[in-house]
Copies of this chain bind each other. A is one copy, B any other.
Amino acid sequence: MKIETLRWAHNKLEVIDQRILPSSFEYLSYDSAAAVAEGIRSMVVRGAPAIGVVAAYGVALEALRLSGNLKPIPPLAPPLKGGEPVAEAASLPPFQGEGRGGDGFNSGMEAGFTVLAASRPTAVNLFWALQRMREVWESVSTQTPQQIAQRLLAEAHEIRTEDIRINKAMGANGAALLKDGARVLTHCNAGALATAGWGTALGVFRSAVEAGKRISVIADETRPFLQGARLTAWEMVQENISVTLITDNMAGYMMAQGEIDAVVVGTDRVAANGDVANKIGTYMVAVLARRHNIPFYVACPLSTIDLNVATGKDIPIEERSADEVKGFRATHWAAEGVQIRNPSFDVTPAELVTGLITERGVVLQPDAEKLRRLFAQ
């Protein structure tokens, strides 16, 4: 795999700026929770597993920053003229542990968690990663901020490493489902760029090719952010895997022509009953796949399954800025005065899902009982 989506360098998190791919390739550098949250919100980094990993680094970076490893924390002082008032010590929550108790470490960390949790609502990996980081923090809360920060950084590294390991396990499980020569449609980008590396749906293709199967990928361009045209196509070209780009409205034609053998997509959150939230348009692909008796698979690490959410109806669907639909980047083509909708995700009911490809195996025709058993393993 040739793409390093995110990396730790010079005590900072560096991530590929996915907004400018494939015309430009550039890493952006982050050193605080607020900066990471803004990177997630503005889609410098996107894809549920990648969002989880960078959020974990966001927590670690905030701990490093607050503990003074990166820069000294400014002393409590009267607000600057015209600036926002700084929090008063009296309003901070009670401090846990020792360390630099009075320096606002704990309240700063809480603010970091809050800003990260507010960055994007749909991908559950974000909340999963934040919860895991919180548990680690609580487990070492009696240590010094410096020690806490180092422990949190180690955990972020571990989450990143795990993510790649899990992707490869999913890849192997999914590859077994694809026959040699399969022409596989995917939507959006569930690739190395959507994870710490390897990818979920595209990881399945990578693993299939690594196992000697000939795979050709059909990529929906995925308006409005064009993750398919820009990111999936780019990743597959990098890997020398055959890839054909279509606009989102061509998938039905391709299926009717008999040119698609299977669909594999990623997901941002799977409900306890197997309903799948994923990039807007996934539902349409699933409905068409059913009509044409084409298997519809969802590559999904366990961290993307949210047992706290009963069905897809309870998954929050983010609506993003109208500007994304008006055009692309600085090029606007929509008629002036038109109203715009921009739901970023949709829900595919479990009944349309042939199988969930997880690191623990493939759950065929997923339902609540099967998902409960999967976690009980």
Contacts and interface: CB of A to CB of B under 8 A. Distances in A.
A42 interface: no
A338 B217 CA distance: 10
Contact of A338 (B233, B254, B288): B233
Contacts of A284: 249, 251-252, 284, 288
Interface residues of A, number: 56
A339 B252 contact: no
A219 interface: yes
Interface string A234-257: 101100001111111111111010
Interface string A219-231: 1111110100111
A250 B334 contact: no
Chain A residues touching B, majority SS: mixed
B325 A328 contact: no
A94 interface: no
B346 A233 contact: no
Interface-central residue, A187, A221, A233, A287, by most chain B CB under 10 Å: A221
Interface of A: 22-23, 187, 219-224, 226, 229-231, 233-234, 236-237, 242-254, 256, 280-281, 283-284, 287-288, 291, 325-329, 331, 333-341, 343, 346-347
Given A22-B333, A187-B249, A331-B331, 13 more contacts: A229-B334, A234-B338, A237-B335, A243-B338, A245-B326, A247-B280, A247-B325, A248-B281, A249-B249, A252-B287, A252-B346, A256-B346, A328-B331
